[in-house]
Structure 1
Amino acid sequence: MAGLLDLLNSPMGQQLISGVAGQTNQPEDKTANVLSMAMPLILGAMKKNVSTPEGAQGLMSALSSNHSGGILDNLGGLFSGGVDESVMNDGAGILGHVFGSKQPQVESALSAKSGLDSGSVAQILKIAAPIVMGFLGKQTAQSNVSDGTGMNALLGSMLGGQPQENQSLITSLLDADGDGSILDDVAGMVMGSNKKQGGLGGLLGGLFGK
């Protein structure tokens, strides 16, 4: 089962980092840092959404109709001459669905943690979202996932790839208050607030070797 660690550490991941950095005119190291936080964050929000039958069905329908993974087969073409506006619009739609009204808070939190301006972070997120969906689409097909239970398990495995202790820690941090508000917790942790000691950014940075 391939996880985000496998993707980001692969030659494809390096091509993704280089392409996104070129698109946003930002250094590759800072771009990699944002992606290492943003991509698990997007998957984590999706995992929260599929906890309901409606959310699971909506995600699976989107994967089967528009995000089978073809975008990953031509990353060179994706970044050649600039990312197409249709891809950016698709990313904006995905982010709006998974983050909702919390999206500006997520962008601000990632900006503060990475040192990039929020406008650049927003651009990186719009590119990352279709990539994450494409990766999820490929994994869904390869694993023959057909229901919400399977999708929830798949998302959990894709967020894994590190030692069990750290994987359990990420799972617990996704809703640190136990109040169901994953994005409040994530934003607080990425910001490294007093309420959420350590910070999701620091945790993921360690897991991704950044």
Structure 2
Amino acid sequence: MSCSKFKIIAGLGNPGKGYAQTRHNIGFLVVEALASKSHLTIDKTRFESHYVKGRIKDQDVFIIKPLTYMNLSGFSIHRFASYYKVGIEDIIIVHDDMDLAFGKIKIVKSRGHGGHNGVRSILEVFGKKDCIRIRVGVGHPGSGKDVTGHVLGGFSPDEIKILDHCIDTASDACLYVLENGVTSAMNLFNTKS
């Protein structure tokens, strides 16, 4: 049961220009698109995050981009949530996912980290796994291939062709969760090809 005054939507990624257009930073790209759709600009800094506060779908929402690097994402999100008294059930995490084909969106709630170090950090710091996650597929390089190089690598020409659509869909998923709840969002977005 939601009891927080605020919602947090956190996109995961790594700060710095060198990481900006990489698969691991797709969470940043999605929340930037979400802010833009909501006529907001992520231009403030607090608790080791870039953020903006706005009213979206009749709710007070913080959109944040942790600046702690991916593997420590939980610390800045937890500081934000603690200060504003936001429970983990009112947090939406947007992140890259190698277990999904590039561009595929899947919404989950109260699930384990699935090997994602940013999500692992969040679940460990909060001590719970009740957040909502928008998983954005970045594909897997294949058995025996360099997964670190894959997620930290730039988008391929084929990926670039569908990147804008992927980001648009994932940011729409965030809006849909805010307006209609996670169950309805899962029913809609998880069945799309």
- State the TM bucket, normalised to the shorter chain: 0.3 to 0.5
Q: Structure 1 or 2: larger helix share?
A: 1
Q: Which one scores higher on RCO, CA 8 angstroms, separation ≥ 6?
A: 1
Q: Structure 1 or 2: larger strand share?
A: 2
